[in-house]
Structure 1
Amino acid sequence: MSSSIKNLSDFSHLEVGNAEGLKFAIVVSQWNAQVTGALLEGAITGLKKHGVNDGDMEVLQVPGSYELVSGSDIVLRNKAFDAVITLGCVIQGETRHFDFICDAVAHGIANVAIKYNKPVIFGVLTTDNLQQALDRSGGIHGNKGEEAAITAIQMALLSQRFPSV
């Protein structure tokens, strides 16, 4: 959990590993594009920083965060990737719609990961307001897109160490 005094996108203390040759899909929501565009930039930067070539990442856009689940399923059903990064942003409104969407997306992404035995990374911001989302998509709390990329690299490398039987 981020705090008002800490940028959590500092990975200087981690041994992330070399991701050269690994293949990543980034499924990104078009809804709240100002935020998700910045998350996408962060994810691409994070992947490239650790050796991923442009040809080893594929970006797929879906309408909203709810569609991240089926987008991830479609991409894994049709192409081999070492990990999928999902990027979205759901901002609290005046109704319970926020709760239903956040719950469905979290469970759906977990289910896709289990179905394909592949890392599917939850890079979805669930914030109370736009400012919190901006703070976490390149603002004072770092970029959760880059954090999702680092997580994807670490999980893909772990998956290579322990392949399915």
Structure 2
Amino acid sequence: MAGSETHYTLPRPAFDKPVKLLIVVAPYYRDIADDLIAGAKAEIEAVGGSWDLVEVPGALEVPTAVAMADRMSNFDGYVALGCVIRGETTHYDTVCNDSSRALQLLGLQGLCIGNGILTVENRDQAVVRADPDAQNKGGGAAAAALHLVALGRKWGGQSKGVGFRPATESYRLAGGDDGNTIA
């Protein structure tokens, strides 16, 4: 049974400057969302961090809210929380896949995101995973975001931009050997 397995957990990162995360939650299942939020808040506060909380209608809106916050605010990272329980239609697959894919794409663009959107077969699975005294997936999502923030700070934050550094100080334009070089 998955609930009885043990997993290695990284030690909490330490921060020399304050860290602030945005918790974005879809509270469709209010009691489960409340447990996820409690776990995330506790993990953030355990490293001396601060947090803000926003609610959105559903799991599909979580990535949009994260992207908006990244454009319009100054958070160091994001914690995505919610719960999708399998129903009788394929809507479950769409919501699970699309919300996860969107969060992953935002992460690949350089955002520090912990994904705590539960995707479960039934309510009992969700309750165990959300419970801060059991699997604490909200705390795990916050820990993931915090580790990414720490890694970003270790490597110099976003001051260098995203992508590869050129091998030289000049760039050759694609498509020709006609001396089109930008210095």
TM bin, normalised by shorter chain, reads 0.7 to 0.9
1:131 matched to 2:124: yes
1:104 offset after TM fit, Å?
0.5
> 2:5 maps to what in 1?
6
| TM-score normalised over the length of structure 2 | 0.79
Using a 3 Å threshold, how does the CA distance of structure 1 residues 157 and 145 change in structure 2: closer, same or farther?
same
State the alpha-carbon separation in 2 of the partners of residues 59 and 153 from structure 1: 16
1:63 matched to 2:57: yes
State the alpha-carbon separation in 2 of the partners of residues 120 and 77 from structure 1: 15
3-state SS of paired residue (2:81): strand
Pick from 78, 88, 105: which aligns with 1:84? Answer: 78
Letter in 2 for 1:131: D
Identity %: 26
1:141 offset after TM fit, Å?
4.1
Using a 3 Å threshold, how does the CA distance of structure 1 residues 140 and 47 change in structure 2: closer, same or farther?
closer
Using a 3 Å threshold, how does the CA distance of structure 1 residues 130 and 112 change in structure 2: closer, same or farther?
same
| TM-score normalised over the length of structure 1 | 0.87
Pick from 121, 140, 148: which aligns with 2:141? Answer: 148
1:28/1:86 contact within 8 Å kept = yes
> 2:153 maps to what in 1?
160
> 2:14 maps to what in 1?
18
State the alpha-carbon separation in 1 of the partners of residues 124 and 114 from structure 2: 23
Letter in 2 for 1:83: G
Unaligned ranges ≥5, structure 2: 161-183
More RCO (CA 8 Å, sep 6+): 1
Of structures 1 and 2, the larger Rg is shown by: 2
1:3 offset after TM fit, Å?
1.4
1:97 offset after TM fit, Å?
0.5
> 1:98 maps to what in 2?
92
Unaligned ranges ≥5, structure 1: none
3-state SS of paired residue (1:126): strand
State the alpha-carbon separation in 2 of the partners of residues 77 and 16 from structure 1: 28
Pick from 36, 39, 63: which aligns with 1:39? Answer: 36
**Runs of 4+ displaced beyond 4 Å:** none
Q: Which has the higher helix share?
A: 1
1:24 offset after TM fit, Å?
0.6
